[in-house]
Amino acid sequence: MACSGDAPIEPTVYDVPKAVEKYVQSFVEEGQKRGVTIKLENLIIEFRSTGAGSGDECGSCTRAVNNGQRKITLVESSLCWGSSIEQNREALVFHELGHCLLGRDHRDDLLSGGAPVSIMNSRAVGFYEACAYPIGNEDECDKRYRRAYYLDELFNAKTPAPDWGK
């Protein structure tokens, strides 16, 4: 029996758009590879047309107090989602899932080579993107080889710095 001042606890919901579901499932699989079990029973992901507040946010995560329902909002703009390449969409979704499902906060420190230490960086983008137009040194442009490190660090913040980051 609930006390008269207690609000009833509402059931949780799982509602993820088809365009995002593959990234959520990949997140779960990447966690499993690293010994982290992810439960998805209380996750809502939705798109909005503009950022909330500052105008430069591409996503946000909120959690309801009464039932723990997690909600991720992604911005549909071309800068954030619309014309982003596959790796950047994945990184955005993984960043927000890091907040909502792993309880990770922003981590804005840098590796000694100047790259962000974590995909949980609040200011960086293109963590492991491919080159749109490779000109000159492709290693400077094509960062796909960095993906394994960033995912290791996402699921274990104590992951040591990679050789490419020194």
Query: According to the model, what pLDDT value does residue 27 have?
Result: 98
Domain membership flag for residue 7: no
Report the number of distinct structural domains present in the chain: 1
Is 125 part of any domain? yes
Confidence (pTM): 0.87
Q: How many percent of the chain have pLDDT more than 90? A: 60
What is the domain range of residue 120?
Answer: 14-165
Query: Looking at the domain assignment, is residue 9 inside a domain?
Result: no
pLDDT confidence of residue 136? 61
For residue 21, being part of any structural domain is answered with yes
Low-confidence ranges of the chain (pLDDT < 50): 1-4, 53-54
Q: What is the pLDDT of residue 133?
A: 67
- Assigned domain for 61 exists: yes
3, part of any domain: no
* Distance of alpha carbon 13 from alpha carbon 41, whole angstroms: 6
Q: Give the HSE-up count for residue 47: Cα atoms under 13 Å, Cβ half-sphere.
A: 13
